[in-house]
Amino acid sequence: GQQVMQIPQYQHVQEGEDFTTYCNSSTTLSNIQWYKQRPGGHPVFLIQLVKSGEVKKQKRLTFQFGEAKKNSSLHITATQTTDVGTYFCAGAQAGTALIFGKGTTLSVSS
């Protein structure tokens, strides 16, 4: 079945450093979504990528979807303490449920 792999599992950075998490799917995706989950909270939708090679930005966050629509990345520039949490990628084929990666837990020290 479809698998979504995400690395690294954990990442600790100093405030102001950059951070990147990578996501790879075993199958071609129709779309990939990114979620952020704070400790004790539920996943919150960040963005959806649909087109091959798509790049989207949200302030300090940059999301990319690979040309083959099988990989994606989330890059945070100049991290802040408010960025802490677990970032999940989730991929889906057309009409199917999202399959989540294991997530990357980001911690930031000031």
Partner 1 sequence: GAVVSQHPSWVICKSGTSVKIECRSLDFQATTMFWYRQFPKQSLMLMATSNEGSKATYEQGVEKDKFLINHASLTLSTLTVTSAHPEDSSFYICSARGTSGSGNEQFFGPGTRLTVL
| Contact footprint for partner 1 (CB under 8 A) | 1, 30-31, 33, 35, 41-45, 48, 88, 92, 97-103, 105
CA distance 35 to 92: 14
CA distance 88 to 2: 16
For partner 1, which is the closer residue by CB, 77 or 98?
98
Q: Nearest approach, Cβ of 16 to partner 1 (angstroms)? A: 26
For partner 1, which is the closer residue by CB, 60 or 102?
102
For partner 1, which is the closer residue by CB, 6 or 71?
6
Q: Nearest approach, Cβ of 92 to partner 1 (angstroms)? A: 6
**Count of H helices and E strands in the chain?**
0, 11
Residues paired with residue 27 on neighbouring β-strands, in sequence order: none
Task: Note whether 60 and 72 are within 8 A (CB).
Answer: no
